[in-house]
């Protein structure tokens, strides 16, 4: 049985390994996604004890939330899962802008509830800051919705350190979701001191650097999705990253584990990270990533990985 962790100061408790679902119905991010495969991986996650399911209006758009809503309803397991989603994007004529104004947010929460076929959302994030709304005012709207029972915990994502401080003026922020992985460690300096001090759970996105940190890619691999434009996947940088990942393989082999498990276990060993949401394209990846819980890294191994990627 996995131990449970609390999201910020909220009453939401989840197992430390959640699931990222931008590849479930995220047709705008990954071409040729099969929706049945996506639904199957959600079912597998829930059956395997995963509790935190991370989605967003922007994945699809809308489709990821709809598919998760369908599966959770079919399985009749709403009380066993915590659904996290994100609002803020506004689509007009297929063009997206960010809007965190109070009227818009209130309306968007209701629409997300409908897509997810539920009457509460466990963790609601502002996906990105907008240009005009004071951050504490936007979070204040989420607090009002929390008091009304429509959401249970409040998150922000992609906020700069200054924006986070403004958003958390009244102490209402439970979770910050930001980019963090072994190749992108800036969060340790710019966010962790603040989030630790203010009891905000930091949930990293791209924990596997979109698959790069699983050790399965080779120098000649080509990508036709969002990875085609990611700096870590380009030329010399890609080659160097693959070399570092190979060194993790030595630790993995000695522990009879996979590279991804070592990487994910390393995050959970960091002070400031309680929950991770690795993404998956197939059910077997979901099952595999759960094996992270069987990996125990020694302080020496944690240091070796730290230095390798510092």
Q: State the catalytic residues.
A: 59
Contact call for residue 175 and ligand NAP (CB under 6 A): no
Q: Is the C-alpha dihedral spanning 158, 95, 70, 87 positive or negative?
A: positive
Contact call for residue 61 and ligand NAP (CB under 6 A): no
Contact call for residue 20 and ligand NAP (CB under 6 A): yes
10, 44, 177, 201: residue in contact with ligand NAP (rule CB under 6 A) = 177
Q: Which stretch binds ligand NAP (CB under 6 A): 100-108, 205-213, 242-250, 293-301?
A: 205-213
Q: Which stretch binds ligand NAP (CB under 6 A): 74-82, 94-102, 208-216, 267-275?
A: 208-216
Tokens for 269, please give them. 């060993």
Contact call for residue 10 and ligand NAP (CB under 6 A): no
**Cβ contact 127:138 at 8 Å:** no
Instruction: Find the helix or strand (DSSP H, E) in which 115 lies.
Output: helix 102-115
Tokens for 273, please give them. 């990270």
Total residues at interface with ligand NAP (CB under 6 A):
26
How many C-beta atoms lie closer than 10 Å to residue 93's C-beta?
A: 4
33, 52, 98, 208: residue in contact with ligand NAP (rule CB under 6 A) = 208
Quickly tell me which residue has 């650097």 as its tokens: 209
Contact call for residue 23 and ligand NAP (CB under 6 A): yes
Q: Which of 155, 97, 96 is nearest to 124 (CA)?
A: 155
Comparing CB distances to ligand NAP, the nearer of 49 and 303 is: 49
Q: How far is the CB of 186 from ligand NAP (least distance, A)?
A: 15
Q: How far is the CB of 259 from ligand NAP (least distance, A)?
A: 8
CA distances from 167 to 132, 157, 179 (A): 13, 11, 18
Residues from 261 through 290 that contact ligand NAP (CB under 6 A): 277-281, 285, 288-289
8, 61, 211, 272: residue in contact with ligand NAP (rule CB under 6 A) = 211
Rounded Cα gap, residues 77 and 79, in angstroms: 6
Q: Which of 165, 190, 179, 197 is nearest to 267 (CA)?
A: 179
Strand ranges (DSSP E) for 77-186? 82-87, 89-92, 95-98, 123-126, 154-157, 175-179
Q: How far is the CB of 228 from ligand NAP (least distance, A)?
A: 12
Contact call for residue 158 and ligand NAP (CB under 6 A): yes
Q: Is the C-alpha dihedral spanning 222, 229, 178, 308 positive or negative?
A: positive
Contact call for residue 142 and ligand NAP (CB under 6 A): no
Contact call for residue 207 and ligand NAP (CB under 6 A): yes
- Binding residues vs ligand NAP (CB under 6 A): 20-23, 54, 157-158, 177, 205-211, 214, 216, 260, 277-281, 285, 288-289
């Amino acid at each position: 049985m996995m131990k449970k962790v609390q999201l910020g100061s909220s009453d939401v408790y989840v197992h430390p390994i959640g699931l990222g679902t931008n590849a479930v119905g995220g047709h705008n991010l990954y071409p040729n996604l099969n929706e049945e495969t996506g639904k199957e991986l959600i079912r597998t996650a829930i059956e395997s004890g995963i509790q935190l399911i991370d989605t967003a209006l922007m994945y699809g758009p809308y489709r990821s939330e709809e598919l998760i809503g369908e599966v959770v309803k079919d399985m009749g397991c709403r009380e066993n899962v915590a659904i996290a989603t994100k609002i803020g994007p506004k689509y007009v004529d297929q063009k997206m802008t960010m809007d965190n104004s109070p009227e818009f947010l209130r309306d968007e929460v209701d629409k997300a509830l409908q897509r997810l076929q539920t009457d509460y959302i466990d963790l609601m994030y502002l996906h990105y800051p907008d240009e005009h709304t004071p951050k504490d005012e936007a979070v204040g709207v989420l607090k009002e919705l929390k008091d009304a029972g429509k959401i249970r915990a409040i998150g922000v994502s992609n906020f700069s350190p200054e924006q986070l401080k403004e958003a958390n003026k009244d102490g209402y922020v439970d979770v910050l979701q930001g980019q963090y992985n072994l190749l992108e460690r800036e969060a340790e300096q710019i966010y962790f001191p603040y989030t630790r001090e203010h009891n905000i759970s930091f949930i990293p996105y791209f924990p596997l650097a979109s698959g790069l940190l699983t050790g399965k890619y080779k120098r000649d691999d080509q990508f036709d999705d969002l990875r085609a434009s990611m700096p870590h996947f380009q030329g010399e940088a890609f080659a160097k990253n693959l070399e570092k990942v190979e060194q993790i393989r030595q630790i993995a082999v000695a522990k009879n584990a996979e590279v991804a498990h070592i990487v994910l276990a390393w995050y959970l060993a960091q002070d400031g990270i309680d929950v991770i949401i690795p993404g998956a394209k197939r059910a077997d990846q979901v099952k595999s990533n759960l094996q992270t819980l069987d990996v125990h890294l020694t302080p020496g191994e944690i240091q070796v990985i730290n230095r390798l990627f510092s």
